[in-house]
Amino acid sequence: MKKNGIINSELVRVIAEMGHKDGLTIADCGLPIPEKVERVDLSLTKGYPKFLEILKAVLNDLVVEKAILAAEIKEKSPKLEAEIIKMLPDIEIEYIPHTEFKKETNNSRAVVRSGEIIPYANIILISGVDF
């Protein structure tokens, strides 16, 4: 049995398989997930689990060198954006239009679906290296 950290077997496997520059998307419950991208569905009900809870757990297990957010988060969900920025000190954050964000998820190793209902509660984490 795994001692600590993420215990969802699918998510642990995806993170362990990631290499430098691979993308992992954490999404709200409404983001379309591309058919050819692996889905790790953690959603249970609308609002649970929270996007930030999943992000925090993933950041404890994954080396991240860059994050991508939809530019619309600045206007539609500024409190969420501020929380995300706090969780990503010293990590480059790129903003792109939501339509481009949805296309960019095609390049992710997987999309982790939360139960979040806050608008634009989506992020693509680009993996780094720890050496």
Range of the domain at 46: 9-127
Q: Is 57 annotated as a binding residue?
A: no
- Domain membership of residue 46 (yes or no) is yes
Q: Is 130 annotated as a binding residue?
A: no
- Domain membership of residue 70 (yes or no) is yes
Q: Is 122 annotated as a binding residue?
A: yes
Q: Which residues pair with 64 in a beta bridge?
A: 127
Task: State the CATH number of the domain containing residue 17.
Answer: 3.40.1650.10
Cα–Cα distance for residue pair 20/15, rounded to 1 Å:
11
- Domain membership of residue 89 (yes or no) is yes
- Domain membership of residue 3 (yes or no) is no
- Domain membership of residue 21 (yes or no) is yes
The pTM for the full model equals 0.97
Counted domains in the chain: 1
- Domain membership of residue 93 (yes or no) is yes
**What tens digit of pLDDT does each residue of 34-75 get?**
999 999 999 999 999 999 999 999 999 999 999 999 999 999
- Domain membership of residue 13 (yes or no) is yes
The token pair at 100 is 């481009």
1 has a pLDDT exceeding 90: no
Which residues are catalytic, by number?
Answer: 20
